[in-house]
Amino acid sequence: VRGESVQNNETCLMFVTTGVLLRMLEEDKDLESVTHVLVDEVHERTVENDFLLLTLRDLTDRIEDGKSQRQHPLRVCLMSATMDSKVLIEYFGKGTPRVCFPGRTFPVTTLHLEDALYLTRHQVDPQADWCRTSLAGQRRLQRKQAEEGQNEVRHPTEGEWARRLSRADGGVCRALAQLDLDCVNHALITDLVCWYFRKGGLQGALDAIGAA
């Protein structure tokens, strides 16, 4: 972790965050001090993860084309229990080898903010910090405009949300239009926990999600 490094000249194996690895690539674009890079959970789509995969692909291409200063090969291993490996093979090149380990997989259901709003029937408090039109919300908007040099920061209206999410009802679209999506909605988190226990725990919650 940046600022909490524990290593010395005899270190052979380093566990680092994506951000630290990107900083290493910034200082040493060929990673000459590294022999192997193992990236876990590559299915997690974040800006840092996507940029790391792009950088590693460019580096392996340069090494293969003889345009790198490296004196030894670089081995890159990308790991995921859920991602379709064919996508990574196409991205890094059709000659990319694949290793599969048998194991038990668990069903995964991806839910989004609109699903949480629908299940809990959450209503946004107009005075809450996470409401765009509250005093705190307006102050954040003004700061964002000042920092980004924008006269107006566009946020989808209730009607625009309704067009984007054809299955969402009016209450969900209204809440999405009111929420500041960059702010943590503590009330919604509380509503979700209460909803979970009202459904009787895990199995009841899963049944409710399946029926929604």
Summarised one tens digit per residue, pLDDT across range 135-187 is: 998 998 888 777 766 566 578 999 999 999 988 889 999 999 999 988 999 99
More confident residue, 165 or 4: 165
**pLDDT exceeding 90 applies to what percent of the chain?**
33
C-alpha 137/C-alpha 133 separation (Å) is 6
More confident residue, 127 or 33: 127
What does the mean pLDDT of the chain come to?
86
State which amino acid sits at residue 21: L
Predicted confidence at residue 96, as pLDDT, reads 86
Q: Which residue has the tokens 């943590």?
A: 184
Averaged over 12-16, what is the pLDDT? 85
Predicted confidence at residue 2, as pLDDT, reads 58
Q: What is the pTM of this model?
A: 0.55
State the angle between helix axes of 113-120 and 186-198 in degrees (0 to 180), rounded to the nearest 10: 60
Per-residue pLDDT band for 85 (boundaries 50, 70, 90) equals confident
Determine the 3-state secondary structure of 179 from DSSP.
strand
Predicted confidence at residue 150, as pLDDT, reads 59
Per-residue pLDDT band for 74 (boundaries 50, 70, 90) equals confident
Strand partners, 37: 76
Predicted confidence at residue 119, as pLDDT, reads 94
Predicted confidence at residue 151, as pLDDT, reads 60
Predicted confidence (pLDDT) at residue 42 exceeds the cutoff of 90: no
Averaged over 71-86, what is the pLDDT? 85
Averaged over 39-58, what is the pLDDT? 88
Contact 83, 43 (CB under 8 A): yes
